Amino acid sequence: MSERFSPSGTLGAMHIETIAPPDLDWQEEALCAQTGSDFFFPEPGSSVREAKRICALCPIRSACLEYALDHDERFGVWGGLSEKERLELRRAAH
């Protein structure tokens, strides 16, 4: 990932690409905008521990997770949960 930092103070590059502009307001406090998106979209088999640690401190964690679940985000860590954990959460809800 070449774009580590988001100049507008919103989510990292890959998050940005998947979110429509009207949904961006809640992301102004996103901690991942300050750390870069690499932690949140690790290579397959890499640890997501650092991303989860950052998410645990993020003030918009709930909104982020809700967004990811609502939009069926399949890749990366959102709201402190990995893709696998979000899938398990979705399955448990049905």
Residue stretches of the annotated binding site for [4Fe-4S] cluster: 32, 55, 58, 64
Binding mask 38-67 for ligand SF4 (x = CB under 6 A): --x-------------xx--x-xx--x---
The CA distance from 61 to 80, in Å, is 7
SS (H, E, C) 30-90: CCHHHHCCHHHCCCCCCCCHHHHHHHHHCCCHHHHHHHHHHCCCCCCCECCECHHHHHHHH
Q: Which is nearer to ligand SF4, 59 or 90 (CB)?
A: 59
Residue 57 makes CB contacts below 8 A (sequence gap 6+) with: 31
Cβ proximity of 35 and 15 under 8 Å: no
Tell which one of 10, 78, 81, 86 touches ligand SF4 (CB under 6 A).
Answer: 78
Q: Which is nearer to ligand SF4, 38 or 80 (CB)?
A: 80
Tell which one of 38, 48, 73, 80 touches ligand SF4 (CB under 6 A).
Answer: 80
Interface residues with ligand SF4 (CB under 6 A)?
Answer: 11, 30-32, 40, 54-55, 58, 60-61, 64, 77-80
